[in-house]
Structure 1
C-alpha cells in the first residue's frame, strides 16, 4: 500500500482511539490523521482531553480529529471534528464553520447520508463495513459493494470506510472506492500495535 499522502485529509490510514496515551503513541509512529473518541465526558473533561491531545500533536505531522465534543474543539482551537448523526443533530454548524473546523460525518443509511450531505461535510464515513464487536450497532454490516455505491453518490467528497476492517482488507476496500480507512480494533486490540501501524503506513515492521 502506498505511503499516505501527507497533504490528504483524512489520511488513507485513519486510526480511532480513546486515550491520550494512544494519541501520543500513534503520533510518535508518524500517523497523519488520528481521531480521539473518548465517550461520556462532561464539558470540563472534554476540554481538558482535547487541549492535552492538541498539545501532544502540536508541531508533528498528526492531524487530531475530535469526536463529538464540538464545543471543546472550538474552545481548544482544534482544526478537525467528527460528528455522528446524533451529535450532528445537536451541533451548532454555524459556530463550527465560523471556527474554521473541518467536519466529518458518520452515515449508515440513505437518510443519514442525506442529512450528512446537507451539512456540507469535508468527508463522509460509511459503516460498519464488517461486523464489529466494539459497540452495539443498530445497523447490519454494509459490505464492500456499498462503498462503491456511496462513493458514486458523494462524488469528490472523501469517503472513509469504518467498522471491523483489518489491514488484510485494505486493498479491496480502496479498490471499491474508499479514500480512507478508519481503524479501531485492528490497532488497539492488536498483539503488536506498533508493527501493525507501520504495516498500515507502508513502513517495514522493523523500522525504528
Structure 2
C-alpha cells in the first residue's frame, strides 16, 4: 500500500490543483468550506479535470457522496465523518479512503475501516483551526508508524518546509500542509522545495 507522493498539499479551490499539480505535486486534497451546493459541485468538477490533466491523485475532504457521484479518486474523512459515512458504499465504488486520527482510540477506529492512509496531527501547533489536542510531536509519528505497519502514515499540522524532512525521518510516509503551500510567496517553487526536502529524508526503521 503506497501513496503517489511524499508531499500532500491541502487546498481550498480548484485553481490550486492546476498550479501545484503543474509544479509536480501528485497528491492534493481539496478541502472546500461554506460553498453553496451548486458551486461546490462545479469546484469539484474543475478540480477533477485539472487533476486528470496533471496526473494528480485528487482527494476530496468530507463530501464522500459527492466523491462517489463525481468519480473522485480518494475521500478524506475525520472521525466525526465516520459516524455518518457509508464506508461500504465508498469501498464498493472503488474510492480510496484516508482518515484523520489524534489519539489511540481514534487510531483503532480508523484501522477498523481498512483505510488507504491514516493521518496524524497536529504534529506541531497550527493556527488554521482550534485543536483540542496537544501537538503530537515527532516521537508520536514513530509510535503511530509502528502501530499502522504497512498502512501509509500522513503527518499534518504546523508542518513547514523546514520540518517536512524530519517528519519523514521520524516515520511518516507523507507530509501534508495548507498554508505552507497556498500561503507561500512562490507556491510552485515551494512544491519543488518540499519534493527535494522529502526525497532526501530516509524513513526511520519501524516494526510491522
Considering the TM-score relative to the shorter chain, is it more than 0.5? Answer: yes
Matched, 1:21 2:19: no
Does the aligned pair in 2 maintain the 1:123–1:159 contact within 8 Å? yes
Alignment equivalent of 1:137, drawn from 131, 154, 165: 131
2-side partners of 1:155 and 1:67: how far apart?
24
> 3-state DSSP class of the match of 1:34?
strand
**Which residue of 34, 40, 58 maps to 1:46?**
40
Distance in 2 (alpha carbons) for counterparts of 1:17 and 1:133: 16
TM-score by length of structure 1 reads 0.90
Give 1:109-188 correspondences, 5 Å limit.
109-188=103-182
- Unaligned 5+ segments in structure 2 are 198-208
The Cα of 1:178 is off from its aligned counterpart by 0.3
Runs of 4+ in 1 over 2 A off after TM superposition: 40-48
Distance across 2 between alignment mates of 1:60 and 1:195:
17
Aligned-pair Cα RMSD in Å: 1.6
TM-score, normalised on structure 2? Answer: 0.90
In 1, distance between residues paired with 2:137 and 2:173?
Answer: 16
Q: Check conservation: 1:31, 1:61, Cα contact below 8 A.
A: no
Change (3 A) 1:86 1:10: farther
Equivalents in 1 of 2:113, 2:2: separation in Å? 21
**TM-fit CA distance, 1:162:** 0.2
Deviation of 1:10 after TM superposition, in Å, equals: 4.6
8 Å Cα contact 2:24-2:191 kept in structure 1: no
